[in-house]
Amino acid sequence: MKFFNTVGVTDPARHYFLPRRLDWEQLVGFIEKQYYFVLHAPRQSGKTTAIIEFVKYLNKEGKYAALYLSTESARIAVNDVNRALRAIIVQLKNQIPLFLDNQEYAIEYLENLLKQEIQESSIYDFLRFWSEKSTKPLTIFFDEFDVLAGDSLITLLTQLRTGYTNRPQYFPQSICLIGVRDLRDYKVKTTQEEELRVLYSPFNIKAESLLLPNFSQEDVKTLYLQHTAETGQQFTDEALAYAFQQTQGQPWLVNALAYQACFRDVQDRTQTITKEVIERAQEALIARRDTHLDALVDRLKEPRVRKIMDVIVSSSGQLEVFNQDDVQYVRDLGLIRQKDYVIANPIYQEIIPRTLLTGTQQGIIQESSWYQNPDGSLNMKKLLQAFTQFFRENSEVWLERFDYKESGPHLLLMAFLQRVINGGGRIHREYALGRKRVDLLVSWQKQRVVIELKILRGKDTLPDGLRQTAEYMDKSRTTEGHLVIFDRSPEKTWDEKIYHQKEFVDQRSIDVWGM
């Protein structure tokens, strides 16, 4: 039986698989034009699977000799050039027979090369030799290229640039560099230049840069229905739509969600996969934090990531404060969308604050039972009154611990809520830079409660917040709404900051909490 793959390269014989995710005509056009180009996408987006499929297609067509190899084995040799080049030469020797026939002369050359001391021009020399001897133009795809760094990266790029003018007779006709980031200019520091803070760009021959897109909604449906064809297990239309909405087509999430739903939670193939099943699978993924999610959230600790994500989580910063190289880096990691300042998908929106709050949440002692009415419903007013007092007494200590200073008050309230809501309900979060608010929707049994979070920025904060809260209540079809306004002014006393009042917008009652 096939299954949804979440580890390594997808094998069409064993896994559900979407073919031809790349535009093959476009890629062939690049090769015909003798382009050197870049393909990038976040980790576990299917780059390797897609490019290996294309390389096999090229070799089957027979016009070019195409090779795929990974440079990941050279990762540890940052400034040990000989060690890095040796690792890549070993990869060349091992990969050539996997993709190409009748290449004994090339393999013999590499074997002899490995018996000698590796020179800084060794890969250039081999690629020149191989191109000259090959009966077909060569095209090479270097995967995991952006794991290289320092002198090793510069040396390899310099060799590729040196041979570029001799293509295709004496050097590969086309080379593709594949990685997470769009290495637009490959600016890196050499050992000698590091102290001078000089950036060196040894690769200025790139003609194009391609981004491997996420799955479309139709792609997700096609992939999931392969499981239906294989097993007979059905998906409701609502489940299919929800899976796309929550993942936004991120390939690993799409596969992981379906694997959890179909191979862990509901293994009875006569039982239909509903939206509720997908919701449970999503919660399991978030709680378990598999390798993909763990690696992703580790990036939140990086300073250049933190300063951007901090402002986005608070939804209160200004776009122009960001260095655009840093923004592109965060986009290339897959944390935010390519075209705006929104966290990439609802699953990441959920797991990012949970990750930032792990230690904080455990340190807050709260029980759900303290805030339940006799009928089991949640008394949100009592809960927010308790948080107001908690914030007054503890915020200075807690906020000092956060690396995320801008979004600290929001995160602290989320931690408090999560501690109370855990096990009995869910918190849905929406935030994006430029909206100047964070939307929280608390679901508890049959209750749905809206909480808007804002930072006090002037006299318009309250009327804007009331309007936004009312709009979100309409959108969420709720009758209970709360607006929390954090006053970060250091000169004000707590008595001046803290208040609770009731306001009305279009006959909707909204509780306003100042703190």
Pairing verdict, β 499-505 and 508-514? antiparallel
Same-domain pairing of 351 and 470: yes
Cβ-contact 454, 316 below 8 angstroms: yes
Q: Which of 235, 267, 288 is the last residue of a domain?
A: 288
As a whole-number percent, the residues of the chain with pLDDT over 90 amount to 66
295 located within any domain: no
Q: State residue 11's pLDDT score.
A: 95
Q: State residue 197's pLDDT score.
A: 44
Whether residue 186 is predicted with pLDDT greater than 60 in this model: the reply is no
Total number of domains in the chain: 3
315 located within any domain: no
Whether residue 385 is predicted with pLDDT greater than 90 in this model: the reply is yes
Which pLDDT band holds residue 320 (cuts at 50, 70, 90)?
low
Whether residue 220 is predicted with pLDDT greater than 80 in this model: the reply is yes
Same-domain pairing of 131 and 92: yes
Residue labelled with tokens 């040990």: 80
Same-domain pairing of 91 and 204: yes
Stretch 40-48: mean pLDDT: 93
Same-domain pairing of 206 and 347: no
The Cα-based distances of 157 to 50, 58, 225, 465 in angstroms read 24, 24, 43, 52
Q: State residue 143's pLDDT score.
A: 96
Whether residue 34 is predicted with pLDDT greater than 70 in this model: the reply is yes
| Residue 322, both tokens | 């960001």
Alpha carbons within 13 angstroms on the beta-carbon side of residue 113 total 27
Which pLDDT band holds residue 396 (cuts at 50, 70, 90)?
confident
Q: State residue 330's pLDDT score.
A: 92
Whether residue 131 is predicted with pLDDT greater than 50 in this model: the reply is yes
Same-domain pairing of 395 and 279: no
Q: State residue 325's pLDDT score.
A: 83
Q: State residue 64's pLDDT score.
A: 98
Q: Is 351 left (phi over 0), alpha (psi -120 to 50) or beta?
A: alpha
Same-domain pairing of 461 and 375: yes
12 located within any domain: no
As a whole-number percent, the residues of the chain with pLDDT over 70 amount to 93
- Kindly report the CATH number assigned to the domain that includes residue 241: 1.10.8
Whether residue 418 is predicted with pLDDT greater than 90 in this model: the reply is no
481 located within any domain: yes
Of residues 403 and 243, more confidence is placed in 243
303 located within any domain: no
Q: State residue 361's pLDDT score.
A: 63
Whether residue 436 is predicted with pLDDT greater than 80 in this model: the reply is no
Same-domain pairing of 196 and 129: yes
Q: Report DSSP letters for 107-163, one per residue.
A: HHHHHHHHTSPPPTTHHHHHHHHHHHH-SS-EEEEEETGGG--HHHHHHHHHHHHHH
Q: State residue 195's pLDDT score.
A: 45
Strands lying side by side in the sheet with 36-40: 65-70, 138-143, 174-179, 36-40, 206-211
Stretch 401-430: mean pLDDT: 86
Which pLDDT band holds residue 198 (cuts at 50, 70, 90)?
very low
Which pLDDT band holds residue 515 (cuts at 50, 70, 90)?
very high
316 located within any domain: no
Burial class (CB in 10 A: 0-12, 13-18, 19+), 205: middle
Of residues 72 and 360, more confidence is placed in 72
Most confident of 73-77, 137-141, 192-196, 327-331: 137-141
Whether residue 327 is predicted with pLDDT greater than 70 in this model: the reply is yes
- Kindly report the CATH number assigned to the domain that includes residue 186: 3.40.50
Q: Report DSSP letters for 205-224, one per residue.
A: -EEEEEEPPPPPHHHHHHHH
Most confident of 136-150, 198-212, 244-258: 244-258
The Cα-based distances of 299 to 331, 408, 417, 431 in angstroms read 12, 18, 25, 19
Stretch 130-159: mean pLDDT: 92
Mean pLDDT of the chain: 90
Same-domain pairing of 164 and 260: no
Which pLDDT band holds residue 10 (cuts at 50, 70, 90)?
very high
Same-domain pairing of 368 and 227: no
Same-domain pairing of 167 and 275: no
Same-domain pairing of 125 and 36: yes
Same-domain pairing of 224 and 206: no
Of residues 191 and 74, more confidence is placed in 74
Q: Which of 191, 211, 231 is the last residue of a domain?
A: 211
Stretch 18-47: mean pLDDT: 95
78 located within any domain: yes
222 located within any domain: yes
Cβ-contact 432, 311 below 8 angstroms: no
Q: Which of 182, 211, 240 is the last residue of a domain?
A: 211
| Full domain range(s) for residue 269 | 217-288
Q: State residue 293's pLDDT score.
A: 81
